[in-house]
Homo-oligomer: A and B are copies of this chain.
Amino acid sequence: MQGDTVIFKVLRGVRNAINFPRLRNPLHLVSPMDFSELKSVCCGCSIRELCLPAGLTDQEVLLLDQHMSHRQPIKKGESLYRTGDTFRSLYAVSTGFFKTSILHEDGRSQVTGFQMAGEILGLDAISTDRHICDAVALEDSVVCEVPFERFEELGQLMSNLQRRFNRTLSSEIVREQGIMLLLGSMRSEERLAAFLVNLAKRFSIRKQSGSELVLRMTREDIGSYLGLKLETVSRLLSRFHDEGLLDVHGRNIQILDQVGLNRLVGST
C-alpha cells in the first residue's frame, strides 16, 4: 500500500530524529515492523488535539501510533470493560459516547462519568491493575486501545508524552473534585444546570453544536450521576422548559438561554 510506504519512511526519520535515551529492553523498537499494525490510528484523527497525542510533535505522534492497537468498535449497550476485569489497556474514545459506573456491594450503583470523543477510559484502573468500574457504550462507538505497559515504556522514551499524561491524570482528579463540589454543596437545579452547561461546552469544543444537545443517557443515568432521582431530573427539565431556559423533547434538548443557565450554576 502506498500509504504504508510513506509512513515507513517517516518512521525511519523519527527514529533518527528523536534523540531518545536507550531503553533497558528496546526490543520492541528494533524488531521488524509489523506493517499490518501501521494503521496510523492517531495521525489522521480529527480529535488528536483533544486526546492523548495533544501537544506532541507529528513525529512523536507517529511513534505513539506505532504502539497503539487497532481501533475497536463497540456496539450500543456493550461493555468495554467491567468491574473486576484485569487492567491491560486504556481506551481513548474515538467516536461515540460512554458512561462509567461503580457498583456498591449492596447493589447500588453510581454513574461516575460520561465520556465522549478524545476522552480516556480506564485511568482509575492503573492503581490496582483491575477495573473498578463498568464502561458501557451509550451509542455505537469506536475506541482506540492503548496497551498500558507499552504506553508506560513509551512515556519513558518521550518525556513530553509522560508529562502530558501526568496532566491527563491530574485533570481527571480535578474533574472529580468538581463533581464532589456539585454533589456535596449544590442544590438539584444547580446540579442539573452545571451538568447541561458542561455537556454543551464539551460538545462545542468538538465542533458540534453547543446548544442542541442530543442526550445519549437516560434520566436515570443523569440522576445517578448527579445524586438525584430520575423523577427529580425529569421535573427539573420540565421546569427549565417552562422557564424558557430549555426546549426539551425527550432526549433532544436545546439550550435557549445560555446565560440564564450559567447564572443558575454560579449563584444562590
A31 at the interface (CB under 8 A from B): no
A124 near B169: Cβ-Cβ < 8 Å: no
User: Do residues B181 and A102 form an inter-chain contact, with CB atoms below 8 A?
Assistant: yes
Shortest C-beta distance, A26 to chain B (Å), equals: 10
CB distance from A148 to the nearest CB of B (A): 9
With a cutoff of 8 Å between Cβ atoms, the chain B residues found around residue A104 in the complex are: 181, 185
* B227–A177 CB distance below 8 A: no
Number of copies: 2
Answer yes or no: A19 CB below 8 A from chain B CBs: yes
Residues of B contacting A153 in the complex (Cβ-Cβ under 8 angstroms): 159
Q: Which chain A residues in 181-237 approach chain B with CB under 8 Å?
A: 181, 183-185, 224-227
Alpha-carbon distance between A126 and B168 when the two chains are bound, in angstroms: 9
A162 shortest CB reach to chain B, Å: 7
Q: Which of A94-108 contact B (CB under 8 A)?
A: 102, 104-106, 108
Whole-angstrom distance between the Cβ of A16 and the nearest chain B Cβ: 16
Q: How far is the CB of A182 from chain B (nearest CB, A)?
A: 9
Contact between chains at A174 and B110 (CB < 8 Å): no
Among A152, A184, A185, A267, chain B packs the most CB atoms within 10 A around the CB of: A184
For A, the interface residue count at a CB cutoff of 8 angstroms equals: 51
Q: Is A5 an interface residue (CB 8 A)?
A: no
Query: Are A166 and B126 in contact, with the CB atoms below 8 A?
Result: yes
User: Is there an interface contact between A170 and B124, defined as CB atoms closer than 8 Å?
Assistant: yes
Question: Which 9 A/B pairs are nearest by Cβ-Cβ distance?
Answer: A21-B21, A126-B170, A184-B227, A127-B170, A183-B183, A169-B169, A176-B176, A127-B171, A124-B173
Which B residues touch A183, using CB under 8 A?
180, 183-184, 227
Could you tell me the distance between the alpha carbons of A2 and B166 in the complex, rounded to whole angstroms? Answer: 39
Q: Does A12 contact B (CB under 8 A)?
A: no
Given the complex of chains A and B, what is the CA–CA distance between A143 and B23 in angstroms?
A: 34
A76 within 8 A of partner (CB): no
Residues of B contacting A155 with CB < 8 Å? 162
Question: Looking at the complex, which one of B21, B22, B124, B171 makes contact with A177 (CB distance below 8 Å)?
Answer: B124
A176 vs B267: C-alpha distance when bound (angstroms): 25
Interface string of A220-261 (1 = CB under 8 A from B): 000011110000000000000000000000000000000000
Nearest B residue (CB) for A100: B177
A174 x B227 contact (CB < 8 A)? no
Of A110, A128, A226, A266, chain B has the most CB atoms within 10 Å of the CB of: A110
- Bound together, the chains give a CA A224 to CA B184 distance in angstroms of 7
